[in-house]
Amino acid sequence: MRVPSVVFALVPVVALAAADGQRVTVTPNEAAGRVDVTIDGKPFTSYIWPTTLKKPVLYPLRTAKGTIVTRGYPLDPRKGERIDHPHHVGMWFNHGDVNGLDFWNNSDAIKKEDEPKMGTIVHKKIVDAKSGADSGELTVETEWMTPDRKVLLREQTRFIFRGTPDSRTIDRITTLTALDQRVVFKDNKESTLGIRVARGLEQPTEKPPTDYSDANGRPTKEPPIDNTGVTGQYISSEGLKGDAVWGTRGRWTLLGGTVDGEPVTLAILDNPSNPGFPTYWHARGYGLFAANPLGQHVFDAKQPALNLTLEPGASVTFRYRFLILDGTATPDRLEREFNAFADGR
């Protein structure tokens, strides 16, 4: 019943924002555990923090036309989706080994005996939310907690949302601060900024998924090999394509394909100020699209481990830009987008 109440609550807010010239509206609804973002009156995404996910996420993500480009499972399973990795929801930010705790894989699906190995990111407060004519902003504070509720890290993240008639953009600026003990992000394959995309943006494969959903969104076995509508392909800034992108470094990577008949390009842009720049790409054909600057040795055995260490009171900041572009974007277009981001535009 929560969704209808949020939708109806947004109607007068959107109308008022449009009248005030605020194209991008950022509307907190703390009672429902969400902040809704609209552009030109159209839903774009929501920042949500349900306890089932063990971290806040942006979910879902939409094109300028309104097509959802993120997977629905486990929150809203859709026909034909894979139902693996229940911790892959929308867009998230975390790490697989922080002082020995796994923040990446945690979810309600974790076995009881594995819970002591898992960390949780807990939303604490909305610091600021503002709408605007050209952009909207949301600043939030979260805490990275151990299983016994001790806080290892305080996180402050600022999201900047923008849109045009044929694009959507999210800048994420995240600062992590160690509290009263040293915090080590051990070199790990599962890290940092991740997105789980819709079925249409997966790469075609001859190997069927082991689990997927039926016409009613329910789990089923014995899936067929069916690449109908599966059209995704990765291309990195280094000119690599498809599965060859995984485990390599690059300034940016795009994922192009078609979702529900709509050609679309997703892209993650790294920033030269980030640790480990240019990032490694944990880009999988089954729909995981992640930038991982903290997995140096795990992706390239010739490189030393990149164990990022924060002494008590020290901070580190990560900056990323995520693009949803209508149509097929060229590498030249992405290079221009990267240069603008690197220059602070």
Give the CA count within 13 Å in the CB-facing half-sphere of 144: 30
- Output DSSP code: residue 134: S
Give the CA count within 13 Å in the CB-facing half-sphere of 276: 32
Asked if residues 46 and 123 have their Cβ atoms less than 8 Å apart, the reply is no
Compute the distance between CA of residue 28 and CA of residue 231 in angstroms, rounded to an integer.
Answer: 35
The SS3 call for residue 81 is coil
CA–chain centroid gap for 137, Å, is 17
Residue 33 belongs to some domain of the structure: no
Task: Give the tens place of pLDDT for each residue, 170-214.
Answer: 999 999 999 999 999 999 999 999 999 999 999 998 776 656 555
Domain extent, residue 248, equals 65-342
Strand order in 151-164's β-sheet? Answer: 120-130, 136-145, 151-164, 167-178, 315-326, 262-269, 252-259, 233-236
The SS3 call for residue 299 is helix
Residue 49 belongs to some domain of the structure: no
Please report the sign of the dihedral spanned by the C-alpha atoms of residue 322, residue 282, residue 236, residue 302.
Answer: positive
Task: Give the tens place of pLDDT for each residue, 158-171.
Answer: 999 999 999 999 99
Residue 229 belongs to some domain of the structure: yes
Task: Give the tens place of pLDDT for each residue, 139-161.
Answer: 999 999 999 999 999 999 999 99
pTM: 0.90
pLDDT at residue number 27: 98
Encoded tokens for 190: 């599962």
Asked if residues 119 and 106 have their Cβ atoms less than 8 Å apart, the reply is yes
pLDDT at residue number 238: 98
Q: What is the pLDDT along the chain (345 residues), one digit of tens a residue?
A: 333 333 323 333 333 444 467 899 999 999 999 999 999 999 999 999 998 899 999 999 999 999 999 999 999 999 889 989 999 999 999 999 999 999 999 999 999 999 999 999 999 999 999 999 999 999 999 999 999 999 999 999 999 999 999 999 999 999 999 999 999 999 999 999 999 999 999 999 877 665 655 545 566 565 555 788 899 999 999 999 999 999 999 999 999 999 999 999 999 999 999 999 999 999 999 999 999 999 999 999 999 999 999 999 999 999 999 999 999 999 999 999 999 999 999
Residues near 321 by beta carbon (within 8 Å), at least 6 away in sequence = 169, 170, 171, 172, 268, 269, 271, 337, 341
Encoded tokens for 207: 């190997």
Residue 251 belongs to some domain of the structure: yes
The strand pairing partners of 197, in sequence order, are 70
What DSSP element (H or E) covers 156? strand 151-164
pLDDT at residue number 17: 42
Residue 16 belongs to some domain of the structure: no
Number of domains present in the structure of the chain:
1
Residue 170 belongs to some domain of the structure: yes
